[in-house]
Homo-oligomer: A and B are copies of this chain.
Amino acid sequence: MNSATTPAMTAGTPSHDHEPVSALAYREAMAQLASAVHLVTTDGTGGRAGLTATSVCSVSDGPPTLLVCLNRNSSAYPVFLRNGVLCINTLGATQDRLAADFAGRVKQAERFDGRDWTTLRTGAPVLPGALVAFDCRIVDRHAVGTHDVLICAVEALGGIGGAEGLLYAGRRYRVLRREAPTAE
Q: Could you tell me which A residues sit within 8 Å of B by CB distance?
A: 7-14, 17, 20-23, 25-27, 29-30, 32-36, 54-67, 69, 90, 93-94, 96, 118-121, 126, 128-135, 140, 142, 144-147, 149, 151, 154-162, 164-165, 167, 169-170, 172-178, 180-184
With A32-B90, A33-B90, A181-B175 as given contacts, are A151 and B156 in contact (CB-CB < 8 Å)? no
- If A169-B176, A172-B182, A180-B174 touch, whether A158 touches B60 (CB-CB below 8 Å) is no
- The oligomer's copy count stands at 2
Asked if residues A29 and B159 are in contact (CB atoms below 8 Å), the reply is yes
B residues in contact with A57, CB < 8 Å: 35, 54-57, 67, 69
Inter-subunit contact A144/B180 (CB<8 Å): no
- Which residues in B have their C-beta under 8 angstroms from that of A149? 59, 67, 142, 149, 151
Known contacts A61-B27, A69-B57; A32 and B165 CB within 8 A of each other: yes
A165: which of B34, B156, B173 is its contact (CB, 8 Å)? Answer: B34
A132 touches B69 (CB 8 A): no
Q: Which of A120, A131, A176, A178 is packed against the most chain B CB atoms within 10 Å? A: A176
Residues of B within 8 A of A144 (CB): 59-60, 65, 67, 140, 151
Nearest opposing residue in chain B for A66, CB measure: B30
**Residue in B26, B55, B157, B169 whose CB lies within 8 Å of A154:** B26
